[in-house]
Structure 1
Amino acid sequence: MMKNTMNKNIKRIATHVLLASSFTMLPVLASAQEKIPSEEIAQARELVKIFGSDLKSVLKTTMGTAGPIKALEVCHVQAGPIADKNSASSTWDIARTSLKVRNENNAPDAFELAVLQQFEQRKAAGESLKTMEYAETVQANGKTLYRYMKPIPTAGLCLACHGSTLADDVSTKINELYPNDTATGFAAGDIRGAFTLQKIKY
């Protein structure tokens, strides 16, 4: 069963990369935001703030009291439920994704991959991650969706498990929990990934 699941995840990633290769570059944020009501943008921003705070609080507390090994275990078990809890409190679905994922289930779809690449370009051009975001109304499977993304900066706390140099026991634990992990080699200030939200337009 695990082998079949892994094969499906690898196929999913490959499909996303192929789709992204033909994905037209998205318009600039200011133009895209005009397509989504301002109240929806405000809701998405607030949800990202709450979700990020909840997750950071759990990881920071665990890291401080039990160290990075326990923090990895907690993130492995609790990140999904925390996202689900915040999604359930709103009409948005919320998750995380990255150009270098730890959990293969978080691999970006074509839309997310294009936005993540755009975020890297905007950062290279000098834009601040604090104010960077992207929102657009898209059509998918016959439905109109609002989509919103916000980059996640790499903080010092992240480097124990996502940096370029990891302790041996941390590397061992990562390989145990995430055999196909690619989410290392980050430096402070890098784009670790992004919060990604979507909802059906009613």
Structure 2
Amino acid sequence: MNIRPVFFITILLFAFSVQADNAKQFETQANAAIKEFAETLKSALMLSMQTDGSVKTIAVCKDIAPKVAQQVSTKYNLDVSRTALKIRNPENQPDEWEKTVLRSFEKRLEKGEIIKKLSFSEQVETDGVKQWRMMKAIGTDLVCVTCHGEKIPEPIQAKLKKHYPDDQATGFSVGSVRGAFSVKQNLTDN
């Protein structure tokens, strides 16, 4: 028996095992970061809606969401953000990878997948940098259509127009994919 092929196969299997472990670790950490971001943002939005009303709640997404994203990113040593195909904040513009994943979420939803289960992760290389990337869909709930639906009250429209003159994030219905949480980590950070 030639020992070289066996040795090569053993090394290959070990490398795939390490790769799978790293992917699992990234997904676990990314899911925890997404959960914390989503829960923190939702709590802030709900509290603001109850105490300040819909018009003033726009400030939560405008001012508080980026701060929460930064805090969660720092805590988990990840780059955590939100994006969408129809954006409100120009700083949330999706890159090509994110656009592809967002389109796949819409197709998967059309085929009957449950929106809460729409997620995707993989290792990619962009501009010579290897990264783990993950996205998890953000569904449109009933409260979301107040600012993101088809019939947005005039005071909210005016405030949105003031802060986001190029707003595209409207016309959504309950149950649609409004966007996604996006997580990145350079492989050198692992």
TM-score between the two structures when normalised by the length of structure 2 = 0.86
The reply to whether residue 141 of structure 1 matches residue 97 of structure 2 is no
1:43 has 2:29 as partner: yes
Structure 2, unpaired ranges of 5+: 1-18
Q: Which residue of 2 aligns with 1:128?
A: 114
Q: Which amino acid aligns with 1:140?
A: T
State the shift of 1:193 in Å: 0.2
Structure 1 residue aligned with 2:154: 168
Letter of the aligned partner of 2:148 in structure 1? H
Alignment correspondent of 1:93: 79
Structure 2: how far apart are the matches of 1:90 and 1:60? 25
156, 166, 180: which one aligns with 2:166: 180
Distance in 2 between the 1:37 and 1:179 partners?
Answer: 40
Paired position in structure 2 for 1:66: 52
Kindly indicate whether the alpha-carbon contact (under 8 Å) linking 1:137 and 1:147 is maintained by their aligned counterparts in 2: yes
SS in 2 for 1:130: helix
Whole-Å Cα distance in 1 between the matches of residues 101 and 53 of structure 2? 33
Percent identity of the aligned residues? 36
**Higher Cα Rg: structure 1 or 2?**
2
Higher helix share: 2
1:78 to 64, 76, 82: 64
For the aligned residue pairs, the C-alpha RMSD in angstroms reads: 1.4
Further displaced range: 145-154 or 126-135: 126-135
Specify whether residues 167 and 145 from structure 1 end up closer, same or farther in structure 2 by C-alpha distance, changes over 3 A only: same
Structure 1 length-normalised TM: 0.81
1:147 to 1:92, Cα distance in 2 relative to 1, 3 A: same
Residue identity matched to 1:185: G
Per-residue CA shift, 1:9-54, capped at 9, x if unaligned? xxxxxxxxxxxxxxxxxxxxxxxx9595211111111111000000
Please, which runs of 5 or more residues in structure 1 have no aligned partner? 1-32
Q: What is the correspondence of 1:11-22 to structure 2 with a 5 Å cutoff?
A: none
Corresponding pairs, count: 170
Bigger RCO (CA 8 Å, 6+ sep): 1
